[in-house]
Structure 1
Amino acid sequence: MTDERPSLLLVDDDAAFRQVLSAALGKRGFCVTAAENVEQALAEANLPEYAVVDLKMPGPSGLVLVKRLKELDAATRIVVLTGYASIATAVEAVKLGATHYLAKPADAAEIVAAFHKADGDETAPVSPSPLSVDRLEWEHIQRILAEHDGNISATARALSMHRRTLQRKLNKYPSRK
């Protein structure tokens, strides 16, 4: 007997989050396969119809997996989740083929809604104030990091910054505004 539910690949390095989200998505009608990193996800034999991919994991980033899943099946609907949201990574995720990009914490209902969001929202609110200096710094670092394929040393050189200073800044959560 085969499972007729739509297949979903969930990739996140946080075991507790992965387990809770897997159960929640299973209750919403998906046949969920979970993985803790990009390598484990790529080892899965079946191509998923849907994927939820964490951006920041040990090893290759979720962007690598987004690109690979789209190469394997262009119809796969992918939502990228991250606790380290930035404009640069959101743009890259969408350019690589992600359907949507959500900042953590995101619940199963938000993720399912994001799978079915095909068009942009022209009514999305525009912030009346500019980003803070801290947030601008975070966005700039993320853009330079993306340009250097996640290489910390090369990014630090490009920013004329000591590598350890850059690592400290990357371990901080970004400013909300």
Structure 2
Amino acid sequence: MSEQHFLVVDDDEVFTRVLGRSLTRRGFQVTIAHSAEQARNLDSQTGIQWATLDLKMTGASGLSLIPWLREQYPEIRILVLTGYASIATAVDAIKLGADQYLPKPADTDQILAALNAVQPNLAQPVAHEPMSVNRLEWEHIQQVLQQHEGNISATARALNMHRRTLQRKLAKYPVKR
């Protein structure tokens, strides 16, 4: 069996170094890019079978890479990995062609398990309590932000919210369910 090539696209240098080292120990050839633009400039002669993409990076979002990666490497397995998980971005990632979506923090075992899963996890626990009001607000903000292609001012107008208030809410980590 030939060596499996794994692409890691994330602007967190510590995370990419740790993940890259762990994947290398497991027999993968690892290529690291710290931006979507850097990933697009990679040598396309190298067949990439696996990829993790960070959602929120400096420059373009990891979502912008999904269609390009699908075109370059039709058989690739793509995982969107993010510290800013929301239902809206998960749906967008899957619609664009990602195979899986995981919130950070995730370790190498979780990443590989998600990428190797071909079927949905039918044993996935279903929350027995509804989302908190704060979480619902956060999800709604993320959905409206996606509809306005990340434009903070347009999103604030659509939400009838002051732009600075919206920026403060977006700077916070996702609210617990």
Residue identity in the other structure for 1:157: R
146-155 or 98-107, larger mean C-alpha shift: 146-155
Offset from partner CA, 1:119-156 (integer Å, 9 cap, x none)? 11222211111000111011001111111121212211
For residues 52 and 152 of structure 1, the distance between their equivalents in structure 2, rounded to whole angstroms, comes to: 26
Instruction: Provide the secondary structure at the position in 2 that maps to 1:150.
Output: coil
Please, which runs of 5 or more residues in structure 1 have no aligned partner?
A: none
After TM superposition, list the pairs within 5 Å mapping 1:99-110 onto structure 2: 99-110=99-110
Aligned to 1:171: 171
Match of 1:130 in 2: 130
Distance 1:164 1:95 in 2: 31
Letter in 2 for 1:72: Q
- How many Å separate the matches in 2 of 1:95 and 1:140? 19
Secondary structure at 1:91's aligned position in 2? helix
> Deviation at 1:73?
2.5
TM, length-normalised to structure 1: 0.94
What is the count of residue pairs matched by the alignment? 175
What corresponds to 2:6 in structure 1?
A: 8
TM-score between both structures, scaled by the size of structure 2? 0.94
Pairwise CA RMSD: 1.4
Other-structure match for 2:30: 32
Aligned to 1:43: 41
Moved over 2 A (4+): 71-74
> Does residue 97 of structure 2 align to residue 97 of structure 1?
yes
Give 1:74 shift: 2.6
Identity fraction in percent: 55
- Cα distance, 1:91 vs. partner? 1.0
The equivalent of 2:139 in structure 1 is 139
The structural deviation recorded for 1:6 is 0.9
Amino acid corresponding to residue 85 of structure 1 in structure 2:
A
Relative to structure 2, which stretch is displaced further, 30-39 or 44-53?
A: 44-53
Q: In structure 1, how many angstroms separate the alpha carbons of the residues matched to 2:90 and 2:119?
A: 16
1:108 Cα deviation from its structure 2 partner: 0.7
Matches of 1:101 and 1:89 in 2, distance apart?
Answer: 9
